[in-house]
């Protein structure tokens, strides 16, 4: 049995989703492909935790660029594709809501156990697909489908370098221990900005949503500066300024660190923006929203 599960791009919710704020995450059409006809010789730690030595072979090359992990949620996509293939091989319908819920629960549990925490938003994107509003209510995941505003242009760029989310989270934890009051102020600002961005996504225009997401990006930059964490690299800051000149915004995806950047505008990025991004080493990725999540495939 063959399955595939999409990667993800997080628009808002970095760090604040762990504090209960809603996140916006988009499943994208780069996939992990699992195949139960072949065993996986070197399963990831998450897959080994979920499936032991019964893991199907899984190809995650679409989620890498010239050997570098792009930050599109490869570990979550591999885990969900592997579980999906295993479930489908047992005759379970991956479109059944109960089956999907079971895949999500098992995948999130394995992710949390292996990684020592995490919200699970990337697992949700790989499982359900589409645009999601994801939050933790007293630690319990709440997954709701959403839609980006009409006339919003969504572009994704990769810096060519991988970022380690675990390192960034550790640095933010050190900031909390060093200056809990400053850390709390930053997290409150992030949470409020993410909540407002979700509201504008659901009820606002593209222009209003862009402004709200820009505010979240500013709060993310403030957290990095206050905690002396490389959440928003200089190249990203320069592209944020360039995007603002065309009534758009540019910000890191997820925890930041310099891998994936997201451009949101009322029009595609201008030739000047694309040239500036290229000068700064940013590679545009041809991505679309994946609407279906994990599913069987004949590929």
Nearest alpha-carbon partner for 12 in 179, 201, 273: 201
User: Are 38 and 163 within one domain?
Assistant: no
Per-residue pLDDT tens over the stretch 116-157: 778 899 999 999 999 999 999 888 999 999 999 989 999 999
Question: Are 129 and 120 in contact, with CB atoms under 8 Å apart?
Answer: no
pTM of the complete model = 0.93
Pair (123, 209) in one structural domain: no
CATH assignment at residue 260 = 3.30.70.890
The runs of H, that is alpha helices, within the chain are: 45-51, 74-89, 97-115, 121-128, 165-178, 180-203, 206-227, 234-244, 271-279
CA-based nearest residue to 35, from 84, 103, 75: 84
Residues 138 and 159 in one domain: no
Separation CA 111–CA 108 (nearest Å):
5
Name which of 244, 279, 237, 289 is nearest 261 in CA terms: 237
Cα–Cα distance measured from residue 17 to residue 294, given in angstroms and rounded to the nearest whole number: 23
Looking at the structure, do residues 139 and 213 belong to the same domain, yes or no?
no
Total domain count, the chain: 2
d(CA 254, CA 8): 10
Segment 166-196, tens digit of pLDDT: 888 889 999 999 999 999 999 999 999 999 9
Q: Are residues 103 and 164 in the same domain?
A: no
Q: Are residues 6 and 116 in the same domain?
A: yes
Same domain, yes or no: 168 and 181: yes
What is the domain extent for residue 281? Answer: 153-285
CA distances, 103 to each of 64, 72, 84, 154, 298 (Å)? 24, 19, 7, 29, 20
Average pLDDT score over residue span 8-31: 94
Are 18 and 77 contained in the same domain? yes
> Do residues 135 and 169 share a domain?
no
């Amino acid at each position: 049995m063959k399955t595939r599960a999409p990667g993800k791009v997080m628009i808002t919710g970095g760090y604040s989703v762990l504090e209960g704020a809603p996140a916006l995450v988009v499943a994208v059409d780069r996939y992990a492909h699992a195949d139960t006809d072949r065993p996986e010789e070197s399963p990831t730690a998450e897959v080994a935790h979920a499936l032991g030595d019964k893991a199907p072979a899984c190809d995650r090359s679409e989620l890498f660029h010239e050997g570098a992990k792009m930050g599109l949620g490869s570990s979550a996509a591999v885990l969900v594709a592997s579980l999906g293939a295993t479930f489908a091989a047992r005759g379970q319908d991956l479109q059944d809501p109960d089956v999907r819920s079971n895949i999500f629960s098992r995948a999130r549990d394995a992710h949390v156990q292996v990684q020592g925490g995490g919200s699970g938003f990337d697992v949700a994107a790989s499982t359900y697909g589409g645009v999601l509003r994801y939050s933790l209510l007293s630690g319990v995941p709440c997954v709701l489908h959403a839609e980006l505003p009409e006339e919003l242009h969504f572009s994704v760029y990769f810096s060519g370098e991988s970022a380690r989310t675990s390192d960034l989270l550790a640095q933010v934890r050190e900031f909390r221990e060093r200056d809990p009051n400053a850390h709390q102020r930053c997290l409150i600002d992030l949470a409020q900005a993410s909540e407002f961005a979700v509201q504008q996504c659901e009820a606002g225009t593209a222009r209003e949503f862009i402004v709200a997401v820009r505010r979240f990006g500013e709060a993310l930059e403030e957290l990095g500066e206050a905690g002396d964490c490389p959440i928003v690299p200089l190249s990203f800051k320069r592209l944020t300024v360039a995007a603002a000149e065309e009534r758009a915004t540019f910000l890191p995806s997820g925890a930041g660190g310099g891998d994936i950047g997201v451009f949101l505008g009322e029009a595609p990025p201008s030739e000047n923006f694309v040239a500036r991004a290229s000068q700064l080493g940013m590679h545009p990725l041809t991505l679309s929203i994946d609407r279906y999540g994990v599913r069987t495939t004949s590929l």
